[in-house]
A = this chain, B = another copy of it.
Amino acid sequence: MNGAEYIASFLEKKNCKNVFLVTGGACAFIVDAIARNPNLKYYPMQHEQSAAMAADAVWKIDRTIGVTVATSGPGATNLITGIACSFFDSIPTIHLTGQVNQKEKEIYKGTKVRQAGFQQTDIVEMVKPITKYSVQVTSAEELKLELAKAYSIAISGRMGPVLIDIPMDIQQVELEEDILEIQPKNLKLKDKEIIDIKKSINNFFSDSKRPLILLGAGPGLCDQTKKITDWIKENELPFVTSWNGMCFIDHKNGNYHGSIGVYGNRGSNFILQSSDNLLVLGSRLDNRQRGNVAQFAPLAKIKVLDIDIAELQKYSGEKNYDVNQFDFRDSSRLFSDFKLNLRNDLTEWNSYCHQIKKKYFGIWPSSSSVKYNSLNPYDLVKKVNSLIDGDAIVTVDDGANLCWVFQAFERTTQTIFTAGGNSPMGYSFPAAIGSAIHSPNKQIICFTGDGSMQMNIQELQTMTYHKLPIKIFILNNFGYGIIKQFQDTWFEGRYEATGKGYSLPDFKKVSEAYGVGYRRIENVDDLSLKDLNSSQGLVFDVILNPNTLIEPKIDNGNPLHNQFPYLELEQDCLEFKYLKNYT
């Protein structure tokens, strides 16, 4: 078999059934070999950026690895924004780029020319900051070794994307069929080390009066959420989540108290800020979670368990932080038979949490919608939430639409995700395409914005061609809403390039031009179950006032418990029960 056929066999063996790609001269052998492999299917996208985002969705759906193929030069560089999504959110993906024939490059004798061959580009170097591993293979042996190695690296430890750059001659080289495999290298703690972590968690909480767990995406990405929520329940602890952590939680869970952060639920933030011992499980506590870092959980000692040693090192010297490196794949070892020995009665604290929850959970007033007498985006999200299937897949984009959905959506058993760290405009639609192809029997819901929809609108053609019944909700605020809100604060409302100078198409005309149905939603009642369950793809153009705000949110470096719009609270209110002595 040749190199390209070997690649196809490798993907087959790894159960990477669906490959997203745009073809080109330098990757044509790989595409042809994939086409000839009866257990693989390829899907041509209309832009490589979308291919990488579609591939990113695959792991988020069922923990198999998404794959792209792209040609050299612009094909490869077009993948970059999508690859970055996988990197920042710890998603394993494999990107196979074609590269010019090595013979073609030899002509340049290693001189530092800008380009050694037509469309030759040093993609391996370019993606180093956004991949776990990137490598060009130069022989049949290297192809076998590096494919196995890259795959292993992608799924080991803190996961992430890898890129293998494959010159055309290596795609054609003859080699043996035996597929080389390399086992993933994971942190393997000894039993004693697990016991030590148990002890330290127990000690951490032993004197606590207001313990709290903050759950990130770490456990969910390796399917260990249940193990941990069972342990939380067993110990009757309250917990909150990060946004990516929320994606794995059943909102009906009685111990759950919502998502914290700059755009978090007010109640969740009050709880977090009031806790005295905060255990963080698999969350990197990025800046959008902690807000004003010095005032994050100001009354608490904080203990963080994370797989990534670099993420833990950032707490060094912070006296209220304590850390353990831990691989959540090992959750059953740590969280089994692990009843905490708590000295204090938590009745008051748990009661406080439930009172706050009752007041704030699921309640999303929109002062701007009231002001403009316009559709409240939170109401729309809740309506969609209430009507979709229990196993629906929901992809969410960025900016204001992301905030509105991640604030108001109460996930129970659905799959919901966004590209949290990279958060590019235009992610959710190609991710929905990847989802619809990878999970053809599930309902696929895509939330996006008007600006974001334009970023990958060409994929309406992919949707039409494959008859994908995706339901696209454009939360249309006629501009870049999250930036407008920033401009309100900083530029006295000069909406340069967000309102002024910004323009958007008539989504009805464009959707229908691509053969996709269209519904205009001016009122939540305009949304019908029949449309949601339609076997056709549909665009729902949700008409919002251009000045619809994200509420609540943190402004101006305030701590998490002081979100805009500012509440007028009494000194001895419930919210500040524990915080009142904190200034």
Chain A contacts to B: CB under 8 angstroms: 21-25, 28-29, 31-32, 34-35, 42-44, 46-47, 49, 73-74, 77-78, 80-81, 84, 87-88, 100, 104, 107-109, 111-115, 117-119, 121-122, 125-130, 160, 284, 286-288, 293, 308, 310-311, 313-314, 316-317, 421-426, 451, 454-455, 457-458, 460-462, 464-465, 480, 482-483, 486-487, 490-491, 494, 496-498, 500-506, 509-510, 512-515
A314 to B341, CA, bound (A): 72
Q: Indicate if the CB atoms of B503 and A461 lie closer than 8 Å.
A: yes
Name the CB-closest residue of B to A104: B287
Name the CB-closest residue of B to A453: B458
Q: Indicate if the CB atoms of A503 and B314 lie closer than 8 Å.
A: no
Known contacts A23-B496, A46-B451, A77-B130; 16 additional CB pairs below 8 A are A23-B483, A28-B490, A31-B496, A35-B496, A44-B497, A44-B501, A73-B84, A88-B115, A109-B314, A112-B310, A113-B308, A113-B311, A114-B310, A119-B423, A457-B457, A462-B503
A486 to B101, CA, bound (A): 15
Partner of A514, one of B313, B426, B462, B510: B510
A490 to B32, CA, bound (A): 10
A458 to B501, CA, bound (A): 16
A490 to B31, CA, bound (A): 12
A500 to B42, CA, bound (A): 11
Q: Indicate if the CB atoms of A480 and B23 lie closer than 8 Å.
A: yes
Q: Can you list 15 A-B pairs, Cβ within 8 angstroms, ordered by A?
A: A32-B491, A44-B497, A46-B454, A73-B423, A74-B424, A78-B424, A109-B317, A111-B313, A118-B421, A119-B421, A119-B422, A125-B129, A457-B458, A461-B505, A513-B513
Least Cβ–Cβ distance between A9 and chain B, in angstroms: 17
Chain B residues with Cβ under 8 A from A113's Cβ? Answer: 284, 308, 310-311, 314
A22 to B455, CA, bound (A): 11
Name the CB-closest residue of B to A129: B122
A423 to B104, CA, bound (A): 17
Instruction: Tell me whether A108 and B314 are in contact in the complex, defined as CB-CB below 8 angstroms, given that A81-B78, A118-B421 are known contacts.
Output: yes
Chain B residues with Cβ under 8 A from A490's Cβ? Answer: 28-29, 32
Partner of A458, one of B24, B111, B308, B454: B454
Q: Indicate if the CB atoms of A126 and B80 lie closer than 8 Å.
A: yes
Ordered nearest first, which 9 A-B pairs have the shortest CB separation? A74-B424, A509-B513, A23-B497, A513-B513, A465-B503, A122-B129, A35-B496, A111-B313, A510-B513
Q: Indicate if the CB atoms of B424 and A73 lie closer than 8 Å.
A: yes
Q: Indicate if the CB atoms of B502 and A513 lie closer than 8 Å.
A: no
Q: Which of A88, A128, A512 has the most CB of B within 10 A?
A: A88
Least Cβ–Cβ distance between A572 and chain B, in angstroms: 34
A128 to B49, CA, bound (A): 21
Chain B residues with Cβ under 8 A from A310's Cβ? Answer: 111-114
Partner of A28, one of B160, B486, B501, B505: B486
Q: Indicate if the CB atoms of A506 and B513 lie closer than 8 Å.
A: yes
Instruction: Tell me whether A31 and B497 are in contact in the complex, defined as CB-CB below 8 angstroms, given that A104-B287, A316-B109, A458-B458 are known contacts.
Output: yes
Instruction: Tell me whether A286 and B115 are in contact in the complex, defined as CB-CB below 8 angstroms, given that A482-B25, A486-B25 are known contacts.
Output: yes
Q: Indicate if the CB atoms of A286 and B457 lie closer than 8 Å.
A: no
A84 to B464, CA, bound (A): 32
Least Cβ–Cβ distance between A466 and chain B, in angstroms: 9
Least Cβ–Cβ distance between A63 and chain B, in angstroms: 20
Chain B residues with Cβ under 8 A from A77's Cβ? Answer: 80-81, 84, 130, 424
Q: Indicate if the CB atoms of A286 and B117 lie closer than 8 Å.
A: yes
Q: Indicate if the CB atoms of B483 and A25 lie closer than 8 Å.
A: yes
Q: Which of A21, A44, A313, A317 has the most CB of B within 10 A?
A: A44
Chain B residues with Cβ under 8 A from A35's Cβ? Answer: 494, 496-497, 500
Chain B residues with Cβ under 8 A from A460's Cβ? Answer: 505
Partner of A84, one of B109, B121, B423, B491: B121
Chain B residues with Cβ under 8 A from A314's Cβ? Answer: 107-109, 111, 113
Chain B residues with Cβ under 8 A from A119's Cβ? Answer: 421-423
A70 to B107, CA, bound (A): 37
Name the CB-closest residue of B to A491: B32
Chain B residues with Cβ under 8 A from A514's Cβ? Answer: 505, 509-510
Instruction: Tell me whether A483 and B118 are in contact in the complex, defined as CB-CB below 8 angstroms, given that A73-B423, A514-B510 are known contacts.
Output: no
Q: Indicate if the CB atoms of B455 and A455 lie closer than 8 Å.
A: no
